[in-house]
Amino acid sequence: RLQQLHCSALVLRLQTHNPRKRTAAECVLSLRQLGAEESEHWLDLNPPSKSSMCHSELHLSTCFQPVSGRIQLKALAAQNLPPSSSPLSQAFFVKAELHQLGQVVMKRKTRALKASGGQCRWEETFHFLLASLEHPCSLSARLYSRSSVRRKQCLGQVQLSFDSPIPEALEQWKDTMAHPEKVVTAWHRLSPP
């Protein structure tokens, strides 16, 4: 039971009921660290999303390999995946891109997998060759769903760079670049595409 909850998240919404019911703010609490003991959490409330928000998370590992002039990105898993809204089957995949000198230098894609219990596990590694070690670079990883009629939808993205507005992504990137050959792994909540 606890194992199943680790693959979930709670979406908390603050609502007003005067004069009509509407969501004033929302936040998400990942249950990945949930244990048997009671714990307190302080969460930031954010304005409600205009679009149907995806609360999926992507598990990524990175490794900077300066001797071979490349960055390794491993798409490990995704969780809190949305259930299919139609009777058609749905598969998920990750598209990763290396950006350098204002251009997309390389693209890679995982195989498409069906979710099981709101999760997918790829464990796929990509090696991105850097155009230059002197110029900054960044990685983006986008999570897509694809229906059996080949319609694909981007659920969200993670931007790994020194410019990333997301603290966890920025921290992973800083750790990766500061410690060559070290594998840095983290879960990331998706940002809107």
Mean pLDDT to the nearest integer, 52-77: 90
> Is pTM beyond 0.85 here?
no
Per-residue CA distances from 142 to 23, 39, 98, 177, 181 (Å): 28, 32, 12, 21, 24
- Does the pLDDT value for residue 4 go beyond 60? no
Identify which has the larger pLDDT, 62 or 45: 62
When pLDDT is cut at 50, 70 and 90, the band that residue 49 belongs to is low
pLDDT category, 151, cuts 50, 70, 90?
A: confident
Domains of the chain with CATH codes: 1-48 (no CATH), 57-189 (2.60.40.150)
Three-state DSSP state, 5? helix
Q: What is the dihedral of CA 29, 74, 110, 171, to 10 degrees?
A: 40
**For range 174-192, the mean pLDDT:** 94
Query: For residue 25, what pLDDT is reported?
Result: 73
Which position has the higher pLDDT, 127 or 19?
127
In which band, very low, low, confident or very high, does the pLDDT at 32 lie, cut at 50, 70 and 90? Answer: low
- 76/120 Cα distance (integer angstroms): 9
Which range, 17-21, 45-49, 77-81, 170-174, has the best average confidence (pLDDT)? 170-174
Q: What confidence score (pLDDT) does residue 121 get?
A: 96
For 82-125, write each residue's pLDDT tens digit: 877 666 678 999 999 999 988 999 999 999 999 888 889 999 99
- pLDDT at position 145: 92
